[in-house]
Structure 1
Amino acid sequence: MTVEAAPARPAARPAPPVPAAARRRNRAGRIGVHAFLMAVSLAFLAPLLLAVYASLRPYDETSEHGYFSLPRHLSLDYYRQAFTDSGMTKYFVNTLIIAIPGVLVTLFLASFVAFAVARLRMRGGLVLLMLFTAGNLLPQQVIVTPLYVVFNRIPLPYWMSDSMTMFDSYWAVVAVQIGFQLGFCVFVLANFMRTLPQEILEAAIVDGAGVWTQYWRITLPLCRPALAALGTLQFTWMYNDFLWALVFISDGDKLPITSALNNLRGQFFTDYNLLAAGSVIVALPTLVVFLLLQRHFIAGLTLGSGKG
């Protein structure tokens, strides 16, 4: 009995060479795209770079020669003056008291709701997701007056609020931040959780995992990039917010960092170079948060980009 040898597989044909004209067009296209991206980046960075440049120069020099002139003298004196004159340490602490609990509670509640909507296949989940998303369409300024009245009527113990109500307390600002940011986070996390393999939860259920285990130990670790991206955005938004603190806090010692810039404005004269230095100091924490979470933030933004 003879065994016939399998026919040899024909060798793969080499890819035809790319014409020189096509290579030149591709190279010109890449150069054009990079030039466009650099121009857009510079347009967004220009105000920040101008603020940094102005903060290093004396006001007398810029008033005489203009902000776009070459510097005669550069120093960090304005940064020291801005930090001490505005009392930024106190305002930084106030902002962290509002932003950190706001971000953590928002992400926890949003991830829990998104898990119930996207992974448990609960009845009416799509309608619930639409309601959370629709909440973002309501202009925040519309309910300023109703919330002001409500917070003045909600009692709190003295150890939670000096005013014995939610008004003039951090609780009011944190509650509003959570309420308005929850819908966006639920929408993002629910759509991300739908991309996770369902077989992972099915295997966990077979092993006897309960709902909490499925959420906390299985689904949540897989959502780390999305949570990091949302956490960065939420911290930036809550950190930079000034409206709600201005409306619901009357005690100046409780105001967030954005209000510290008002302390650098004089009644009859404003040193805009000093104000620029204060603005740069205020912006530094958000930059630090982004640098710390940069890898997870970029991964969260590009999730699903390679799927067909």
Structure 2
Amino acid sequence: MFPRPIEQQSRSVQVGYQALLPIALILWLLPLIAVMIFSIKPDSDFVQGNFWGLPSSFEFFNNYGKVFFESDMPRYLWNSVVITVPTVIGTVALACMTGFALGVYRFKGNLFIFFMFIAGNFVPFQILMVPVRDLTVSMNLYDTKLGLILFHIAFQTGFCTLFMRNFIRALPFPLIEAARVEGVAEWRIFWFVVMPLMKPAIAALSVLIFTFIWNDYFWAVVLTQGPDAQPVTAGITAFNSQFRAAYHLMSAGSIVAALPPVAMFFLMQKHFIAGLTLGAVK
């Protein structure tokens, strides 16, 4: 039923696998490589149609200097930090509490509430564009960082609750029963018994939500406009003018915008993998 490991295949299959793997890796990384090459090209290369050839000159410091010192890119980056960090904290905090309530307590309507959280994940977010925008306008939250933060927290809590509830259900319930027998209050059980066991899940979920929010482009364009509240994903388009696009600056800005999620993953890699694989083996 399952494919045989490559070590158990014939020598010809192993050689073919070893030859095709680097090619597949290069093809997968080709768009990123192209953006990196674009980011060090001079503007004249794009005017002359040299899109895929070698750069006529090395403009790394010139292009990235313009991105950082001659544009609003630092402001967009700061907006992304201000939007993403509170969203991650708020979403994970709400998911921990709702996951604890739905995973530990047995009450009427438990499954219905849980299914409502799940159902929200299957709603196409494009159909919410008009009502969400009208709601933010009516609440005076349009084109504000707070409006984007509140929307992301509300929209991501469903998936996070699904993740946390299932994780908490897999924890040994006798630990909670033993704490209750000792007379420990419910909030202390949550904080001192359950929360320490949830650290791998919290780390994994934080990395996922950080990546989702930081890379969001759709809602950044729908709910914000201008450098006062727009995150970096939407701010990159500011390098486009009415009649031409500064591809070299857009590419440099894209590389800069991609660095925080990559750094976040590598910093939390140990906890992220532990959270995803916890419970995979008995």
Whether TM-score is above 0.5 comes out as yes
The match for 1:181 among 131, 145, 156 is 156
The match for 2:28 among 44, 55, 64 is 44
Which residue identity does 2:135 align to in structure 1?
V
Change (3 A) 1:143 1:302: same
Give the Cα–Cα distance (whole angstroms) in 2 for the partners of residues 303 and 211 of structure 1: 25
Shift of 1:141: 2.1
The match for 1:150 among 121, 135, 141 is 135
Shift of 1:279: 0.7
Which residue identity does 1:223 align to in structure 2?
M
SS at match of 1:137: coil
Give the Cα–Cα distance (whole angstroms) in 2 for the partners of residues 242 and 123 of structure 1: 39
Which residue identity does 2:223 align to in structure 1?
F
SS at match of 2:107: coil
Shift of 1:296: 1.0
| Greater Cα shift, 208-217 or 24-33 | 24-33
Aligned to 1:83: 68
The match for 1:301 among 257, 262, 276 is 276
Give the Cα–Cα distance (whole angstroms) in 1 for the partners of residues 126 and 167 of structure 2: 30
The match for 1:60 among 44, 56, 61 is 44
CA contact (8 A) 1:86 1:261 kept: no
The match for 2:212 among 237, 241, 254 is 237
CA contact (8 A) 2:148 2:220 kept: yes
String of CA shifts for 1:37-65, please: whole Å, max 9, x gaps.
65554443221122112212224346658
TM-score (normalised: structure 1): 0.80
Shift of 1:174: 1.3
Which residue identity does 1:187 align to in structure 2?
L
Aligned to 1:15: none
Percentage identity across paired residues of the two chains: 34
Give the Cα–Cα distance (whole angstroms) in 2 for the partners of residues 305 and 40 of structure 1: 28
Give the Cα–Cα distance (whole angstroms) in 2 for the partners of residues 38 and 130 of structure 1: 43
The match for 1:123 among 92, 103, 108 is 108
What is the CA RMSD across the aligned residues, in angstroms? 2.6
- 2:172 corresponds to 1:197: yes
Aligned residues: 276
Runs of at least 5 residues in structure 2 that lack an aligned partner in the other structure: 1-5
Give the Cα–Cα distance (whole angstroms) in 1 for the partners of residues 245 and 165 of structure 2: 47
Give the Cα–Cα distance (whole angstroms) in 2 for the partners of residues 304 and 288 of structure 1: 26
Runs of at least 5 residues in structure 1 that lack an aligned partner in the other structure: 1-21, 155-164
String of CA shifts for 1:55-109, please: whole Å, max 9, x gaps.
1222434665844434553342211112223311111121122111111111111
User: Superposition pairs for residues 208-223 of structure 1, below 5 Å?
Assistant: 208-223=183-198
Change (3 A) 1:295 1:31: farther
Aligned to 2:95: 110
TM-score (normalised: structure 2): 0.87
Which residue identity does 2:268 align to in structure 1?
L
String of CA shifts for 1:183-207, please: whole Å, max 9, x gaps.
1111111111111111221222222
Shift of 1:271: 2.8
Larger Rg: 1
- 2:262 corresponds to 1:278: no
CA contact (8 A) 1:115 1:190 kept: yes
Give the Cα–Cα distance (whole angstroms) in 2 for the partners of residues 220 and 243 of structure 1: 33
CA contact (8 A) 2:40 2:59 kept: yes
Change (3 A) 1:28 1:189: farther
Give the Cα–Cα distance (whole angstroms) in 2 for the partners of residues 120 and 254 of structure 1: 40
Give the Cα–Cα distance (whole angstroms) in 2 for the partners of residues 74 and 217 of structure 1: 56
